[in-house]
Amino acid sequence: MNQDELLRLFKDSGALLDGHFKLSSGRHSDIYYEKFTLLKQPAICTRICEEMASRIRDQGAETIVGPTTGGIIIAYDVARYLGIEAIYAEPGDNGRVFKRGFSLDKGRKVAIVDDVLTRGGSVRECIELVNGYDAEIVSINVMLDRSSGRVTFDYPFDALASVAADDWSTDECPLCAKGEPLTQRGSRKFKVR
């Protein structure tokens, strides 16, 4: 699966939305990639995860870590293709935490996976969590990078597709200035202004 194929899947499935959206980062955008439209379809999801696994295979990962919520699905399926374990980083009081008895041994080789990257908040929280266990991050991998490479990490990074999608703070949002209604999607809790 290449970039064009993944972007076509978003478009053809109705997962590429136009409007006025508040992203989980708190910023606003006129475009939204509804990854769950793809992830709810096992035949599509498994193609995406198989491709992600093929790109991770030679990195020596022993554990795949994914943040809730979409990252759970991706982490599970990528790990299944690699024949290794998947664990999930859930929201805690200060960043992400492992629950349900999950942990990492010191030096464990970890690949972090996620769905759509905008500002990198969930991934950065996973990096902090994994580093707190003194595990070794071998790579960070996402389905879609909507920052077009503007977000960077101190680890090898790969995205199946990369796009330049505009996003703005509330104060600079042209859609707010026009009075267009704001839509909230996603699983993070925040107030719509």
Which pair of structure tokens corresponds to residue 101? 């008895």
Residues 6+ apart with CB under 8 A from 76: 66, 86
Domain hosting 176: range is 3-183
Q: pLDDT band for position 186 (50/70/90)?
A: low
Q: Is residue 189 part of a domain?
A: no
pLDDT at 65: 98
Q: Is residue 192 part of a domain?
A: no
Q: How far apart are CA 121 and CA 27, in angstroms?
A: 12
Q: Is residue 161 part of a domain?
A: yes
φ/ψ of 47, rounded to 5, equals -65, -45
Looking only at the bridges linking them, the beta strands covering 16-22 and 28-33 are antiparallel
128-185 pLDDT, tens digit each: 999 999 999 999 999 999 998 999 999 999 999 999 999 999 999 999 999 999 998 8
- Measure CA of the first residue to CA of the last residue in the chain; give whole Å: 39
At residue 185's C-alpha, the angle toward residues 94 and 85, to 5°, is: 55
Number of domains in the chain: 1
Q: pLDDT band for position 193 (50/70/90)?
A: very low
Specify the CATH number for the domain of residue 134: 3.40.50.2020
Q: Is residue 63 part of a domain?
A: yes
